[in-house]
Structure formats: structure tokens, C-alpha cells
Amino acid sequence: MTYDPFDHDFERGLQNRRTILGDDWVDRSLNNANAFNADFQNLITRFAWNEIWGRPGLEYKTRRAIVLSITIALGRWEEFELHVRAALRPGADGGMTPDELKEVLMQSAIYAGVPAANTAFAHTQAILREMNHPLSPTQPGTVPHPGVGHERRTASRPALHYTIREPRNGQPPRRTVVLSHALGMDLSMWDGLATLLAGDSRVIAYDHRGHGGSEAPEGAYDMAALADDAARLLLELDTGPVTWIGLSMGGMVGQELALRHPALVQALVIANSSSGYPEAARDAWKQRIATVREQGIEAIADTVMGRYFHDAFRATHGGTVARWRRRLTSTDPVGYAGCCHAVGNVDTTARLSAIAAPVLVIAGELDQGAPVAMSQTIADAIPGAQLVVLPDASHIAAIEQPAAFARAIQAFLENR
């Protein structure tokens, strides 16, 4: 019990209500209050807007998404429209973009039913038009999954499989990013980072020759050929200079691309990679090639997983490791062996000083495949290069520590 004449519960709720719905709506509600409904206005202000919306456990945007989902499921269209309009207000706390609203409606189609989501789309589109948000005509058959992008193959040979994600903000791309994967993996290792960067950038991910959906020509490849593959892809897509992000073999290709085709590289990220191996390591690569040719990739799969992911990660993320083991063993053995030859013979150290683009080098603290010293060698050789060492990460750092990896990338790209 309080004898303070100032009703704190009501005033706190009223402030939250104004923050979420806007002054115009709240003022209309209060000005229309009368002897019959004032008690109800007091009730929802104190309990809905103070007791619930005032709780700190969820952000306003999350609470709004929950409200939208429930009102769709229950067909409460007046309340649904209220929150859609409020969410689209410029600068609104808990505001949502049309793209974010669309995702709530898509999610609701699964859990509340397609008819309910269809009605929600109709209501939302009417509000978007009312608020002058552009809705350009688009054919449904041309729309890719935003977490995957358009899938294509190059016309030039060997054909390379790639995906393109266009910027989700609907603006011209801030930059074009190319993501280049590790040996025995494929473009899907980048799904999380690609979707993140596609917020404002055009993002291209591709499968190296001999991997995934790309062709696997016979023979021993070299790093120059892999770099020329990348250049073919970029020229075919007319990308202009790109931001190249490569991990392990992808980082080696990035080095060679920047040296052979400098006009195509605007900025370069070299992660968990090397610019050259000592003779003993080169012999180990030759042995790996011989084993794969004689016994298949299955014979080396456990050893590779042990180098790609550290013990603690393998113990706690068994399903993830099993996924990449399946990917490794399903790789074309001809293509895998060909790329092993390219990786084992990488040799760029003496030429790295010629790279003029801004460079970020990322190393994993626990990486056995490309120890920190290898990354340090690269960073020392390239003028102005930055080195970031990620704790608790081994060779496939982008999968073991995705958040830390992404933060390092975003910090590097922030002013570029």
C-alpha cells in the first residue's frame, strides 16, 4: 500500500505505452476515455504496459514480434495493425523494418497457419502502402532463400558453383564480398557470416574446383590455377574490386589472387592460413595425396577433423563435426587430391610485400593446421596488415567461434 498520490505503476506503464505505440495513438486513446472505459484504460496501462512491457528480460523488438505472432494466430487484426504501424514509425523504440516484419509473418505461416499469414500479409501491405513504403513488383519464382541466395554455375570451365546474396536493406551494395572456403569443405561453411554481411553488401560464396557443386578436372592443381578460377568468376560476374575473405585454402587463394590480379582485390582477409610450408610438411601433403588415391578420403577423415576442430569443440559439438566429416568424405577424391597438391605447394611469402590492399590476418589460438606463427609471418610480410588471434579457436575458426570471427571481420570492414 502506498499513500503517494502519484501513481507510479500507471505512469511507468503510460511511458512504455508511448514509447512502443507513439504519442499520437496513446493521446487519442486517453482523450477518448470516458466514465465507461477509463477503468479499462487504467488496467491495460498498469498491467500490460508496466507489469509486462516494463520487464527487462526481453528487448522491445522481441516483445513486439511475440505480440504480432500471437495476434496473427488469434486473428486479432486491430491489435496487429496497431503494432505494425507503431513498428514502422521512424526512430521507434522496438521498431522493425519491412524485412523484419516479413520474417515474423513467414514464421507465423508455419506455426499459425498459411491462411492467417496470408491475411497478415494483406493487412501489412496495406499499411506499407499507406505509409509510402515502396513495394516493387517481383515474380515469386525469382526470389531466392535469403539465407542461401541465388545459386549459379559459371559458364567458363571448370564450372564453379556459387551463390549470390543481394543486400537485404534494398540499397545499392556497400561492397561486394567473396567468401572462399577451406579444403574439403564447401560454400555452406560461410552461411552464417554470408547472411550477416548481406545486410548491406553483395555476398558471393563459391565452391573451389573439385569441391561441392563445382567441376573436378583431372590432375594436380596449383595455387595459380585456383586464383585464376576466382578471377574468372569475378570477371564473369563483373564484380569490380571485391573484399576477399578466405579461410585456410581460401586464404591462400586470396593471397595469390591479390598478387596475380591486384585490380580485383579491394581488401583481403586471410584466416587460418599459410604462405608456405617447411619441407617436412610438404612431404606430409604428398603422403595425404597418396593415401586418398589409394584408400579414399574416409581413411584420413578422422585425422582431418582432429586438426580442423579442437578437442573441447569436438566433445561438445559432435553433430557439427559429424556434418563436416560427411562433407569431407563426400568430396570428389580427384578434386580433393588436386587441391591438396595446390595447398601443399603454396609459396607466396617472398612476394607478399607486393600486396597493396588493406589486409586482416586472423589466426586461431589453438590452430595446429596453420599455427599462429604462420599467420604472423603473413602479417609481417604485408605492409600495414593487422593480425587478430581468436581465443579457443583452432583451424576452422569461422565455425568454432562464429561470433568472434564475425566481430573481427566487421571491425575490419567498418570504415571500408
Whole-angstrom CA distances from 84 to 16, 89, 94, 229 are 17, 9, 11, 47
State mean pLDDT over 7-27. Answer: 92
- Asked whether residue 143 is domain-assigned, the answer is no
Judgement on whether residues 177 and 291 belong to the same structural domain of the protein: yes
- Check whether 76 has a pLDDT greater than 50: yes
CB 342 within 8 A of CB 282: no
Rounded-to-integer distance, Cα 122 and Cα 128, Å = 10
Same domain, 109 and 180: no
Kindly report the number of other CB atoms within 10 A of residue 203's CB atom: 26
For residue 138, being part of any structural domain is answered with: no
- Residues 217, 74, single domain; the answer is no
| Mean local confidence (pLDDT), 254-282 | 97
Any domain includes 198: yes
The pLDDT assigned to 8 comes to 87
Q: Please report the pLDDT score of residue 5 as a whole number.
A: 81
The pLDDT of residue 225 is above 70 = yes
* 217 falls within a domain: yes
Over residues 128-144, the mean pLDDT reads: 93
Could you tell me if 193 and 275 lie in one domain? yes
**Arithmetic mean of pLDDT, 238-266:** 98
Let me know if residue 340 belongs to a domain: yes
pLDDT (average), residues 5-32: 92
Q: Determine, yes or no, domain membership for 411.
A: yes
CATH of the domain at 124: 1.20.1290.10
Q: Does 186 reside within a domain? A: yes
Of the residues 131, 162, 182, which one is the last residue of a structural domain?
A: 131
Q: pLDDT category, 2, cuts 50, 70, 90?
A: low
Beta strand 242-247 with 265-271 is parallel
| CA dist list (Å): 367 to 285, 306, 364, 400 | 17, 11, 5, 11
Q: What is the pLDDT of residue 169?
A: 86
The pLDDT score that the predictor gives to residue 368 is 95
Phi, psi of 389 (to 5 degrees): -110, 120
Mean pLDDT of 288-293: 98
Which SS3 state, helix, strand or coil, does residue 180 take?
Answer: strand
* pLDDT of 246 higher than 70: yes
The total number of structural domains that make up the chain? 2
At 394 the pLDDT is: 98
Domain C-terminal end among 75, 97, 131: 131
State the cell numbers at 136: 516493387
What's the CATH number where 328 sits? 3.40.50.1820
Indicate the pTM of the whole model: 0.89
Instruction: Please list the helix, strand and coil fractions of the chain in percent, rounded to the nearest 5, in that order.
Output: 55, 10, 35
Integer Cα distance of 11 and 25 in angstroms? 16
d(C-alpha 274, C-alpha 182), whole Å: 12
H or E element that contains 39: helix 38-43
Q: Last residue of a domain, which of 131, 166, 198?
A: 131
Domain match, 125 and 169 both: no
How many Å apart are CA 154 and CA 233, to the nearest integer?
7
Asked whether residue 97 falls in the same domain as residue 162, the answer is no
CB atoms within 10 A of CB 288: 22
Tell me if residue 182 falls in helix, strand or coil.
coil
For residue 277, pLDDT beyond 90 = yes
Q: Is residue 245 part of a domain?
A: yes
Say if CB 164 and CB 204 are below 8 A apart. Answer: yes
pLDDT confidence of residue 377: 98
Asked whether residue 194 falls in the same domain as residue 228, the answer is yes
Per the structure, the complete domain to which residue 99 belongs is given by: 9-131
Residues 54 and 181 in one domain: no
At 8, list the grid cell: 507510479
Nearest-angstrom CA–CA distance, 51 and 151 = 48
Determine the 3-state secondary structure of 54 from DSSP: coil
From CA 253, how far away is CA 246, in angstroms rounded? 7
Give tens-digit pLDDT for 168-181. Answer: 888 899 999 999 99
- For residue 285, give the C-alpha cell: 601433403
Q: Do 118 and 173 belong together in one domain?
A: no
Q: Cis peptide leading into 98, omega within 30 of 0?
A: no
Mean residue pLDDT of the chain comes to 96
171 and 110 both lie in a single domain: no
pLDDT at 52 > cutoff 60: yes
Measured distance CA(328)–CA(337) in Å, rounded:
12
Q: What pLDDT was estimated at residue 1?
A: 47
Q: What is the pLDDT of residues 329-343, one digit of tens each?
A: 999 999 999 999 999
Same domain, 58 and 207: no
For residues 319 and 403, what is the distance between their CA atoms, to the nearest angstrom? 19
User: At residue 46, does pLDDT exceed 50?
Assistant: yes
Same domain, yes or no: 231 and 339: yes
Confidence of residue 387 (pLDDT cuts 50, 70, 90): very high
